[in-house]
Chains A and B, each alone.
Chain A
């Protein structure tokens, strides 16, 4: 930016214009005033002259006579009295020779001196201009006020100009210097800004904006790389997704871990993009909406399932740490607890906390993730460890500002990100630690109503048949164990049929047609080696209202929509071990049946 040739050029121009405006304004007004008042005065003078002349016409001979015959006293009295009545400044009888050489407008001579001898007495009267002004042109003196006003305005303009120069113009010039310094790469401190008040705030805001622009420029390259990475990750992810569908030989649990990991990688890539975009954002309307962090939408999820998935994933990763133990404990009451979160965000948050706990272990140690109902309609998840613990002063700082403690390469984002996410879902994070004992993080997230597809409990009538279709033998073991426990608890029996493939299932169903109306069908979604998935099997057997789809892919929106459409309930596979199971005795079953309208009650709403 080039400096103006003349200092304060604009201000000088502005001041000059104002002064010229005031000067010509006052001049025009004064001239108008002057001519108007002069015309008014002239008219008034003529009027007064006529009046005085009329009075003199009546008196002048008498006064001249009195003067001539020596009646000076009475003449003086009468002239004084007359002058007072007509507000004359002068009224005398004198010879023509003593008259002023040139008569003014205010002066009257009676009779007219033309043609009279020098010693002829005449009456000379002088009108009182001040009196006429006061009577007819009372505002004439306002002209002085007008001119004074002009002078005052001029003075005010000078003061304003000085003020503007000091408090506005100079700070702007300094601001120019600041930007030039910025451009030159020099650092400028707030103390260098001499401006005050709004100008200072404005300058600082501009500096801040300019600083952000500079930072954005620096980040631009990084963002570009991040975008490229995110983009590049998506392609191999798609390939992995495709391959995953063909990995029928891989156990389901492992496939679930892989799927979850892929999902989280995808989400991380999306988050990288989002963060990059946000880091370059200047304007506030690009900030994330409340309740939404990252690219995911908020939706209802069973907290136990989410926690169980992340713990399972972590347990796989902990194979190289035999000294560390990671456990999950889902309390009975936690089975039906749903929360509105972004699932991958939730998993990341908990994952970060688990990672923190694992890293806090010194050699042997234990990390436990516990899920249960919290106070005040909240779901609570606790991540605790018996690691080194955190000093109180550090803990206080961590609670308020995030950060990391005693963690090599830690940037402190784990805890703060987790807190930010939890806050965005309306929850809260509490942290407690005792140095040398361990650390515990409690997360409280508001409960929401379970969705329609969710199975809160399983109730089976005594003597009924329960079909279990799953390609994973361990799942069969889980169900066998659960139902055994239930039968033992109820003192009543049921028939439990296990199928690992769809062929044997269909055969059994054909042979036992009469039982089909009262069976409970627990069906997996992905069945290794089967030409059809669990959903297709249920549909082909027309068991929609007696079937529960037990799958780890319960959180896939497409699957949920399809189940909704067919009236099929969903049970997260990881929660198979938690769902409450009850065997109803015949009497109770009948009563229940009467209420439900069916002999075999498989699923309670």
Chain B
């Protein structure tokens, strides 16, 4: 793990301290990430997976020759924009990474304006599909995730009423609210019984909502936030001695929630496109153990799939690596194989930009035995 941190930190420090790299990035793809909404470990896992995917398709030397990474840790909400602009300003011919909906939305605007091809790791926000033919996400859209979610909820909590908790300060969460509202607009018996509540500015339930939850009005909670944004809410629930099953589709590693989960009797269900039981996942696991001495996880899988896509495109470029050659190489074939977050290891990007088709697999994390 030490070696992993070192590898990632070098380019990160370079950008963070100087504001602009001293070397020219001409002919390179810029990988960006920020800690605006997701944790630094999350970003590092994604990058590590990306590097693994790049190595798999290009080899280590070419990866180093064609990729430069930038991570801003200033916690500014506009870090993704600045990071993307910095990369482009220094000659990047494509933007990749930015593995949250928040960062992806910001970076997508920069890419669109700059006319460079961009791939964002696993961002599910539906608005990405509206950014044009140069913006793509290596994750499924919110619609496809919710299709999987509804099936899971109906099956796991039949005839039960759940409460979807939304944070109005989080784009990913708000996009889920919009999707949920849109999908439940018309009464449909096939849909789960889900109510919607927004968190306060302190990211907790209001007293009224808390009272309802405490009164066992709901049988489970659906959390639309990243695990990093949940501690305040979970503290509130723990203090109120509320112990309900919880469901999330953020796909992030819930290890930050371990201390809460340890005290819960109810299970925690985490939805993700990454299925460790697949063959591709097992290969990734072996590769990670061999190369980086770490076990694979959903975030690594997210980065890995991006690395496979970008590495495959770069491998197709015959001449000098430019914006156009990078685009052209992508357009030659929009389908890619060796993807771990796909049932059959293959994904195809739609025309006009947007997401790949991807469902979610829900893993159960047990609380107190």
Q: Knowing A117-B113, A119-B113 are in contact, say whether A70-B78 is a contact too (CB < 8 A).
A: no
> Which residues of chain B have a CB within 8 Å of any CB of chain A?
36, 76-78, 81, 101-102, 105-106, 109, 113, 125, 127, 168-171, 174-175
Contact of B127 among A70, A73, A74, A117 (CB under 8 A): A70
Nearest residue (CB) in B for A117 is B113
Residues of A within 8 A of B175 (CB): 70
Inter-chain CA distance A119–B102, complex, in Å, is 19
- Report chain B residues within 8 Å CB of A66: 77, 169
In the complex, 30 of the A-B residue pairs with CB atoms within 8 angstroms, ordered by the A residue number, are A61-B76, A61-B77, A61-B78, A62-B77, A64-B77, A64-B78, A65-B77, A65-B78, A65-B81, A65-B102, A65-B106, A66-B169, A68-B81, A68-B106, A68-B109, A69-B101, A69-B102, A69-B105, A69-B106, A69-B125, A69-B171, A70-B127, A70-B174, A71-B169, A71-B170, A73-B168, A74-B168, A74-B169, A117-B113, A119-B113
Residues of A within 8 A of B81 (CB): 65, 68
Give the residues in chain B near A61, CB-CB below 8 Å. 76-78
Contacts of B77 in A (CB 8 A): 61-62, 64-66
Cα A64 to Cα B113 with chains together (Å) = 17
Considering the complex, which residues of chain A in the window 110-168 have a beta carbon less than 8 Å from any beta carbon of chain B?
A: 117, 119
Instruction: Point out the residues of chain B lying under 8 angstroms from A70, CB to CB.
Output: 105, 127, 171, 174-175
* Chain A proximity of B198: nearest CB distance (Å): 9
**CB < 8 Å neighbour of A68 from B36, B101, B105:** B105
Q: Are A71 and B168 in contact (CB under 8 A)?
A: yes
Smallest CB–CB gap between B39 and chain A, Å?
A: 18
Q: Mark A328-365, 1 if CB is under 8 A from B, else 0.
A: 00000000000000000000000000000000000000
Closest CB of chain B to A68's CB: distance in Å? 6
Bound together, the chains give a CA A71 to CA B105 distance in angstroms of 12
10 tightest CB-CB pairs across the interface, nearest first? A65-B77, A69-B171, A74-B168, A61-B78, A69-B105, A62-B77, A61-B76, A65-B78, A61-B77, A74-B169
Q: In the complex, which residues of chain B have a beta carbon less than 8 angstroms from the beta carbon of A68?
A: 81, 105-106, 109
Contacts of A117 in B (CB 8 A): 113
B6 nearest CB across to chain A (Å): 30
**CA A119 – CA B109 in complex, angstroms?**
10
- Smallest Cβ distance from A112 to chain B, in angstroms? 15
> A71, B78: Cβ atoms under 8 Å?
no
B113 CB contacts on chain A under 8 angstroms? 117, 119
With a cutoff of 8 Å between Cβ atoms, the chain A residues found around residue B109 in the complex are 68
* Distance, CA A74 to CA B174, complexed state (A): 10
Which residue, A66, A69, A71, A74, has most C-beta atoms of chain B within 10 A?
Answer: A69
Binary contact track A46-88/B, C-beta < 8 Å → 1, others 0? 0000000000000001101110111101100000000000000
Contact partners of B36 in chain A: CB under 8 A: 65
B335 vs chain A, min Cβ distance (A): 29
Given contacts A65-B106, A119-B113, contact A71 B174 (CB under 8 A): yes
Q: Smallest Cβ distance from A76 to chain B, in angstroms?
A: 10
- Residue of B76, B77, B113, B174 most packed against chain A (CB within 10 A): B77
